[in-house]
Amino acid sequence: MNALLVAGTTSDAGKSVLVAALCRWLARRGAEVAPFKAQNMSNNSLVTPGGGEIGRAQALQAAAAGVEPTVRFNPVLLKPGSDRSSQVVVLGEVAGEVTAMSYRDRKAALLDTVVSTLDELRAEYDYVICEGAGSPAEINLRAHDIANMGLARAAGLPTLVIGDIDRGGVFAQLFGTLALLDPADQALVTGFVVNKFRGDPGLLDPGLDQLRALTGRPVHGVLPWSEELWLDAEDSLSYVADGVVGRPAPPMGQQWLRVAVPRLPRISNATDVEALAAEPGVSVRFVTEPSRLADADLVVLPGSKSTAADLEWLRGSGLADAIGQHAAAGLPVAGICGGFQMLTRRIVDSVESGATVAGFGLLDLEIEFAPAKTLARPTGTAFGEPVAGYEIHHGRAVRRGDGLSPLVILPGGEPEGGIDGSVVGTHWHGLFENDSFRREFLHWAAEQAGRSGFVPASGTAFAELRQAQLDLLGDLVERHLDTDALLRLLDRGVPNGLPVLSPGLSVAGDGDRGRIRK
């Protein structure tokens, strides 16, 4: 036995963070450890060195474990393009479009893929830390589940349930999650973790004691709230509309640089702007209505899983007009992937929306979508600095205007992206993580915006900031969780004789409801 599953009471309860933390803790003990998420639904993804696509959270967890990311860490990735359909990626490659109902019919075959992939990892690594999806108590989905208790049952995984106390109601969440599971699933739930607690942990003790008495399971620890943890949010819902990203440090000069990022309905790789937010004096804010652009120095249009639909949303919300006015005033606008495509003259999309739409017309080129998705990890130079990034898109830049300068020059001299006055765009994700380029870009943006009092910091190293956060996660596990109990679960598996709670919806008599059955 060398694996466990981290499930959550809700989405964004802290599953991804806890998996990364456990990976870091184990790696620092000298173990070879791998993360695993059977099925991820996210438009935040990354290209592995092998050329496949996985969720960004699994790439971060791989960094925590000190191993290269691989498609086996996230064998099934769902990328929602609308409320009813998603692109499905299996072992890094696009495997068609699915609706909620049609995907249900594919899950039996995918469960075989998931379990066999997990078996491979368990044979190669000392430990595998698995992450669930959403909540295991989504009982309407249990019959076809491959990510939570369906995976735990198939692979015999001891399961931890984590709940976010900052949202309130954590004891009801933890108890209710367990009580809604059927007896065979409950038998695999071995304990709980409370996340994001603020204050004196002693105040929690009476509740923790009662939860143990009610469920017969321990609380393995209480993780405190940490202001320092904000990078690499797994769920784009973590980015509050009209909220500042990160913890901006005071400016090096006399002025701030204010960055506005439209929070698109189908936003992808929202984490691209985090490297900007890590810079002193740079205030990055996600926005959803046009007044928030009035005092912005720089507008960054992020990636999108459905470029044409999100462009229509921008126009309907009034943000498109505000962006046009911003650019007309000579203020800087940057587009990344789908955002870059929106800045062009025209988008011919025969893949995602089946539509041909006019773009903003701020960059003199056109975009045509191809059936085959581009997945690449290119290198080049931009603003005279060496850069690396990754590409995940169907769109191709065609009919490039003669007067348009490239943003990035590839090793063979080919152009990528474009720059025209105060407008820049690129298909590359991760470009802002290149420290020297980011400093040059911020200097350019401040100059375009007339912010002569803004001074880019000279020493921000984004990769080191990420590693420091991963070390902080490992520290939190060591200080606040019962690591001996966690090692016992990893080494010995599920303990025998865990009690079963009668479900709240049981037809049993009221006197039996909610009690433990031995």
**Integer Cα distance of 421 and 427 in angstroms:** 18
Q: Which of 220, 326, 427, 429 is catalytic?
A: 429
With tokens 């992937």, the residue in question is 337
Locate 268 and state its tokens.
Answer: 């992808």
Instruction: Check: CB of residue 254 under 8 Å from CB of residue 446.
Output: no
User: Which residues does 190 contact at the CB level (< 8 Å), separation at least 6?
Assistant: 158, 159, 160, 217, 489, 494, 495, 498
Active site annotation includes 130: no
- Quick one: DSSP state of residue 135? -
- One of 130, 337, 393, 394 is an active-site residue; which one? 337
CA distance 30 to 24: 10
Distance separating alpha carbons of residues 108 and 145, to the nearest angstrom:
9
Label residue 354 exposed, middle or buried (CB < 10 Å: 0-12, 13-18, 19+): exposed
| Size (the chain), residues | 518
The DSSP letter of residue 30 is: T
Picking from 41, 37, 103, the residue whose alpha carbon sits closest to that of residue 71 is 37
* CA pair distance 106, 452, nearest whole angstrom: 57
429 is catalytic: yes
Written as one letter, the residue type at 184 is: A
Cα(301)–Cα(287) distance, integer angstroms = 11
H/E stretch holding 66: none
- Residue 42 · residue 60 · CB < 8 Å: no
Long-range contacts of 402-405 (CB under 8 A, 24+ apart): 403/364, 404/363, 404/364, 404/365
Residue linked to tokens 């996600």: 286
From CA 361, how far away is CA 352, in angstroms rounded? 21
d(Cα 387, Cα 379) in Å, to the nearest integer?
6
By the 10 Å C-beta count (0-12 exposed, 13-18 middle, 19+ buried), 351 is classed as middle
Q: Which two tokens stand for residue 186?
A: 């409950």
Q: Residues 82, 86, 88, CA angle at the centre, nearest 5°?
A: 165
Could you give the residue numbers annotated as active site?
A: 337, 429
